[in-house]
Structure formats: structure tokens, C-alpha cells
Amino acid sequence: MELLTALRTHRIVAIVRGADADAALRTVLTLAEEGLALIEVSLSGTDALDVIRRARAALGPAAPLGAGTVLTAEDAAAVREAGADFVVTPAVCEGVTEAKRLGLPVLAGVMTPSDIVAAQRLGADAYKLFPAAQAGGPGYLEALRGPFPDAPFVPVGGVDDEAARAYLARGATAVGVGSPLIGDAADGGSADALRERTRAFLDAVRLPAAQRQGSSA
């Protein structure tokens, strides 16, 4: 898949991490039904590889499906076998190198300029600014864009719908959202509430009409 194109188009990645594998799968499918196209299943959730396998079977081969918290070469190989077609890491680590070797696009976790340079050298497709809120929020993103004006940043960590708007306004390519969007859905919570939150986030990241028209001109 063309990860960078997808990030620029959809502008949000949902991060699913749950203690209940069946609920996590339902969460993935609910997000997809509501039109949220980029979904990441974190390996830190219960039976995450099985969730990825079942989600891939349910969504079909064409739907983007990511695996997160990929740290090692073994993680990268396992998520590829399970059906993930992009990888998200929390840091610049072995998972980046192996995922690229396997032909998977990577959203690599970074915080500092040194991290960004290291991730660039490994061929990362985009940069997960994590944890974004603790790093300094939208102001820190704007500061990083000085030395890295063309780098595709995806802030993750503490991103609610208002923060999503602020990051995108400061030049983020997309945002990654976990608990402010997922809530308790991946642990068995309300699917209806998840649907409402999903619609609110999709509205928050939607391009203004003028920009949509400009991008299609």
C-alpha cells in the first residue's frame, strides 16, 4: 500500500488496543463501517495477531490494516504473516528495519531530531511523533517543521478532536488516536458510543471545502 498517500488522504489513524480480542475485532469493524479507513491493531492488546488475522478476513484484501507496537524483527514477520500491510513502531528500532526489508511501509516512532534522522536513514515512510502531548503539543510539531519542512509527521498520544484540528493546522500529515476515540469499546464497551466518537473525529480531520477543491483541481 501507499502509506503516505493514505495518510494524506484520510488524515487519521485509529489505534485499537484491547483486553478482549472479540471486542477489539468488533471495534475494528465498527470503525471501518463508519468510514475510518486507516486502522492499527496494537500488539500490546490481547491476542492481537489473531485480531489482525480475523480483521483481514472480514475486511478483505484491499482494506488498509496496520499493526502497532512492532519492536522486533520477529514482530514484523508475525504481523506480515497475519495480514497487516503497514507497520507502526513506538521508536526507531529493529521492527523498522525488518518491516522495510519485508516490503511493508512503516510509520516510525520518533520524538527528537536525532530520532527523525535515524528513521529517515532506515527508510521510514512517515514519522509518528510520540508521545506528542508530553513532547510539547502542536507547538513542538511546528518547531520540528523548521529543520524538517517536508517530513510527514503523525502526532500520537493525548490527541482528542480539538488537538487533532490543532496538529493538522500546524502541518501534521495525519494524527493517530487511541483512547480518546476508542474509549472502552475494545474492552467490550458501547459500539454506539464508538460510532458517535468516530463521526466526531472524522469531522475534526476533514479538509475544509476550499482545500478539497484545490487538491482536486
Does residue 142 have an active-site annotation?
Answer: no
By C-alpha distance, which of 6, 1, 8 is closest to 172?
8
The answer for residues whose C-beta is within 8 angstroms of residue 76's C-beta and 6 or more apart is 70, 87, 94, 95, 98, 99, 102, 104
Within a 13 Å sphere around the CA of 174, how many CA atoms are in the beta-carbon half? 25
Nearest to 132 by CA among 99, 174, 92: 174
Which position among 40, 94, 142, 162 bears the catalytic label? 40
What DSSP string describes 41-63? EETTSTTHHHHHHHHHHHH-TTS
Q: Is 128 an active-site residue? A: yes
| CA distances for 14 relative to 24, 73, 123, 168, angstroms | 12, 23, 23, 16
Active-site residue (options: 34, 81, 100, 128): 128
Name the one residue in this structure whose C-alpha cell is 522486533.
Answer: 72
Q: Which helix (H) or strand (E) holds 39?
A: strand 38-42
Give helix 161-169 / helix 137-144 axis angle, nearest 10°.
Answer: 20
Task: Please give the Cα distance from 119 to 91 (Å, whole number).
Answer: 9
Packing angle, helices 48-59 and 21-33, rounded to 10: 30
| Residues annotated as part of the active site | 40, 128
